[in-house]
Amino acid sequence: MALQSKIMNRAKSEGRTALTEVESKELLKQWGIPVVETRLARNKKEAISMSKEMGFPVVLKINSPDIVHKSDSGGVRLGLANATQVANAYSEIISSIKPKYPKAIIQGISVQRMAPLGIEVIIGMSKDPQFGPVIMFGLGGIMVEVLKDVSFRIVPVTQKDAQEMIKEIKGYPLLEGYRGQEPASIPALKELIVSVSQFAEQNPQIKELDLNPIFAYKDKAIAVDARIILEEG
Ligand code: ADP
Ligand code: MG
């Protein structure tokens, strides 16, 4: 069933098509797609109390529909171990972002659980003028940015398609556990790809989706960053 969403209506009423990371993760979570615990703090005090509730270490990130590359602009702070570090990171993010994006709408700063390092993979959805929604899968970081090591399938993506998408990237041996590294759960990645395909298929108002990165572990996979763009109108 399609998402009946306050989040999408709010974006529409504000005349924007880009959802923030917090909004995007909320929609994905409603759809049953695993995302790292993420809450929106409106001020420093809230950020501190949220991080205490969540348990350290935490991550703080700028949350704005207008800022696409959060770390490039000093908007991401990882591995914050106590309340003082959270307070400092909060101020540093604001003072780094404000001069760079004087006009950006800042909804607040997200407080996230710091996920243990996993193998970074990405899943994306975009719309091809001819084929409609298309799902992309690849390894995160330089593997996708430099080597363009990705695979594509047209929605709806079946379990079998998903399996092929995972196996046909050149970096596949990394997912199997390279040189004693822990492997990534192929069943979890398969399920994630199929869920993203269903999400796209049943919510045609979504124009673009990026889960970048997802951390893959030996028994599960979880998105730590997400971005959704809605169709206009
Ligand atoms: P950007 O907007 O720059 O893509 P991200 O949210 O992807 O920002 O954060 C940058 C990097 O920080 C990610 O690629 C990931 O390695 C790390 N990261 C982000 N969120 C978390 C998290 N909750 N737990 C652990 N690492 C994270
Ligand atoms: Mg990212």
Nearest atom (ligand 1) to Cα of 36: 23
pLDDT of 179: 83
Is the Cβ–Cβ distance between 93 and 109 less than 8 Å? yes
Residues 6+ apart with CB under 8 A from 165: 135, 137, 151, 152, 153, 157, 193
pTM: 0.96
3-state SS assignment for residue 222:
strand
3-state SS assignment for residue 61:
strand
Is the Cβ–Cβ distance between 106 and 62 less than 8 Å? yes
- Cα-to-centroid distance, 76 and ligand 2 (Å): 10
Q: What is the mean pLDDT of each run of 10 residues along the chain (233 residues)?
A: 86 96 97 98 98 98 96 96 98 97 96 96 97 96 78 98 97 90 96 98 97 97 98 89
pLDDT of 5: 87
Of 48, 110, 39, the residue nearest 83 (C-alpha): 48
Nearest atom (ligand 1) to Cα of 71: 3
pLDDT of 28: 97
Measure CA of the first residue to CA of the last residue in the chain; give whole Å. 21
Q: Which residues, chain by chain, have CB under 5 Å from ion ligand 2?
A: 212, 225
